[in-house]
Amino acid sequence: MFNKKILFIISFIPASLILLQCSHDSPMTSAAADWPEYHGGPDRNHYSLLREIDATNVGRLKKAWEYSSGGADTISNQTQIQCNPIIVNGILYGVSAGSQAFAVQGDSGKEIWRTNLQDETFRITSRGVTYWSDANDKRIFFAFGNWLYALNATTGEPAKSFGVNGKINLHDGLSRPGADEYVSSNTPGVVFENLIIMGTRVSEGPTALPGDIRAYDTRTGELIWTFHTIPKPDEYGYDSWPKDAYQNVGGANAWAGMAIDREAGIVYIPTGSAAFDFYGGNRHGANLFANTLLALDARTGTRIWHYQLVHHDIWDRDPPTTPNLFSIQKDGRTIHAVAQVTKTGFVFVFNRETGEPLFPIEERPVPASDVPGELAYPTQPFPTKPLPFTRQRFTEADLNEHVADREHILAELRNSKTGEPYIPIGTQRTILYPGTSGGAQWGGAAVDEDAIMYVPAVEIPVYMSLLETPPSGKFTSGEKIYRTLCASCHGSDRKGDRGGNYPALIDVGDRLTFDKIEQITKTGVGRMPAFTQLSAPERKLIIDFLTNKGADAAIENSSPPLTTAPYVNSGYNRWYDSKGYPVSAPPWGTLTAINLQTGDHLWQVPHGEYEELTRLGIPKTGTDNYGGPLVTSSGLLFIAGTPDKKFKAIDKRTGKILWETFLPAAGFATPSTYTVNGKQYVVIACGGGKLQSKSGDRYVAFALD
């Protein structure tokens, strides 16, 4: 597998370290000093063999360089950077706060190139780019709105041989009656030989496009294969849906990213929920391949095996991040494994060649739905090991002892459905715990050479209910458009969510001009999709409604009919008290180490801090968080992801903090590490813009002084 030069380079590294990153999991390349792929490598383990920075010297880390990527919204703080940058041959490639791809020198942060794409299309917060090369043809694949670009890695110019003038439209080939036009890709695709395998993001409402997984030729952009995640007649899984579901239902899309075993030629893909996320009366059945870990032949897209993690999802419980590929020893033999963390706080572990669970998984009965037309699935899978890394139920006994407005919150809790997993959401308030963002979230988990997993998580309750969809008819109004398209995120009262992920819109007219709001509805921003289905008069109605321009003047709806559902949800409402703290007992954010060989937890520590509470003598509570960890063979874990703007180095054996510093803005992203000329750097994007934090545009790299 290795040539002599590479064997010489790594000969000083213990064999146990080589197993994880260089065996069946991910062939070693000359880029051992690089971070050549999203989450570090094809195994998505956030893992590096680099050892210059270790527990004995990490306290000497200093800022080495800082790069201003541009595009930050410092007025309304709605931009973010979620990018995990890649480093190839000492060049760092990333995405700016303004959704532009760039390349900088890895040892200085000096800009080499940056795109200036001006497509009249929607945009989205990107999590990174993909590198591919063949001799002197070196390309960066970068998704911008509904376009997938192939860029010359040296110059940043579009590779003219790819698609039309260097780009292909990800919307091409995706359609169904009654669907909207929204499609994009915010997580990097994966390369296999001369293919770039792509998932997409589509809307989460009833008008969503289908979530087909597709592979394109890296040179020409030609579509090579397609996997239908909502099966068509005569395809496996078709009988797990109503007869015409492939024409009436969208979603089940691969938005969270993929891992690949290039030696075996298998790509591992978690899929999203079927849309609409919270009502499935039009899609009775288990709904394969929504909420599924898929193992596909990377050359052909043929299904090898699958495991559905949630049946008939009506809770938005889709897997939020890439799987992890690793190896363990069992009964004297090596087993190549895949693990998937979930929003529910579970870890599912499988033999990645056969799909056989490595720990027992039980199908347990769960509650039925009381919503007319809904048929909740009678059972759901629960792994017996590893044990969940978050708590699973929220009751009166789980209230924060310091919670403000205690009696009011108790009254609301007693009037809610709560107390066990998988309670179907209905017209009565329902508590989801962990919340809709996790548990685990898109930052994902790290896995080291000993098959120890390190997973950050959130433990904050979310409440919601279903509201009847406003009656359809020949005419529409701004309020109806808002309730149908906007209320599920920004709330029926336009107050947003207390976590700051969905901003309040009550005063949007004071903050943004008509033209700016119109642009956002056309192009999208952050996690908000573009509402391309709205006509110009409808767009004016919704903006007038948001900016309180007087009573609606109803108009005749000239738009084509779109798929509808009888309900919308009341919003993703993180439950905070009047002082701004979660109503649940701490910890509110955690970092957990799990031995994937045995399924046992090794340690769990709070992740994040409210310093004003710590000063009062309250033990560290942890906080809401986004972004993943980086783990090194030298025994360190690097992580940011919290609104306090801290970036930390942690002893991976104990969870003890060894070093920390403040970033210019919160680092809601996964760090990367690499070497240039023998010097090791650790870099992280500092984009803020979530959890009521300020937006920023910086990438900051650290090295030993």
Q: What is the pLDDT of residues 5-58, one digit of tens each?
A: 333 333 334 333 333 443 333 333 344 799 999 999 999 999 999 999 999 999
Name the residue with higher pLDDT: 148 or 557.
148
Where residue 549 falls among pLDDT bands split at 50, 70, 90? confident
pLDDT of residue 123: 66
pLDDT of residue 562: 84
| Domains of the chain, earliest start first | 1-101+588-705 (no CATH), 470-563 (1.10.760.10)
Nearest to 684 by CA among 622, 632, 638, 633: 638
The mean per-residue pLDDT over the stretch 51-76 comes to: 96
Nearest to 400 by CA among 616, 576, 253, 182: 576
Nearest to 572 by CA among 684, 489, 655: 489
At 613-651, the pLDDT tens digits run 999 999 999 999 999 999 999 999 999 999 999 999 999
At 97-114, the pLDDT tens digits run 999 999 999 999 999 999
Percent of the chain with pLDDT over 70: 90
Question: Is the predicted pLDDT of residue 687 greater than 80, yes or no?
Answer: yes
pLDDT of residue 544: 83
Bridge partners for 327 per DSSP: 336
The mean per-residue pLDDT over the stretch 684-705 comes to: 96
The mean per-residue pLDDT over the stretch 305-309 comes to: 98
pLDDT of residue 557: 57
pLDDT of residue 547: 84
DSSP structure string for 332-380: TEEEEEEEEE-TTS-EEEEETTT--BSS-EEEEE-PPP-STT----SEE
In terms of DSSP bridges, do strands 430-432 and 259-261 run parallel, antiparallel, or are they unpaired?
unpaired
Where residue 553 falls among pLDDT bands split at 50, 70, 90? low
At 400-443, the pLDDT tens digits run 999 999 999 999 999 999 999 999 999 999 999 999 999 999 99
- The pTM score is 0.90
pLDDT of residue 27: 32
pLDDT of residue 8: 34
The mean per-residue pLDDT over the stretch 54-82 comes to: 95
At 323-377, the pLDDT tens digits run 999 999 988 899 999 999 999 999 999 999 999 999 999 999 999 999 999 999 9
pLDDT of residue 22: 36
pLDDT of residue 496: 76
The terminus-to-terminus CA distance of the chain in angstroms comes to: 37
Q: Kindly compute the dihedral angle of the four CA atoms of residues 178, 181, 185, 191, in this order, to the nearest 10 degrees.
A: 80
pLDDT of residue 696: 97
Name the residue with higher pLDDT: 292 or 22.
292
Nearest to 44 by CA among 267, 233, 252, 195: 267
The mean per-residue pLDDT over the stretch 476-490 comes to: 74
The mean per-residue pLDDT over the stretch 285-305 comes to: 98
Q: Residue 481 and residue 496: Cα distance in Å, rounded?
A: 17
pLDDT of residue 522: 64
User: Quick check: helix, strand or coil at residue 58?
Assistant: helix
The mean per-residue pLDDT over the stretch 512-533 comes to: 69
In terms of DSSP bridges, do strands 47-48 and 630-632 run parallel, antiparallel, or are they unpaired?
parallel
Q: Residue 382 and residue 365: Cα distance in Å, rounded?
A: 10
| Half-sphere exposure of residue 467: CA atoms within 13 angstroms, side-chain side | 19
The mean per-residue pLDDT over the stretch 157-169 comes to: 97
Is the Cβ–Cβ distance between 482 and 546 less than 8 Å? Answer: yes
Percent helix, strand, coil in the chain, to 5, is 10, 30, 55
Is the Cβ–Cβ distance between 156 and 180 less than 8 Å? Answer: no
Kindly report the average pLDDT of the chain as a whole number. 90
pLDDT of residue 214: 98
Give Cβ neighbours of residue 312 (< 8 Å, ≥ 6 apart). Answer: 280, 283, 284, 285, 286, 287, 375, 376, 377
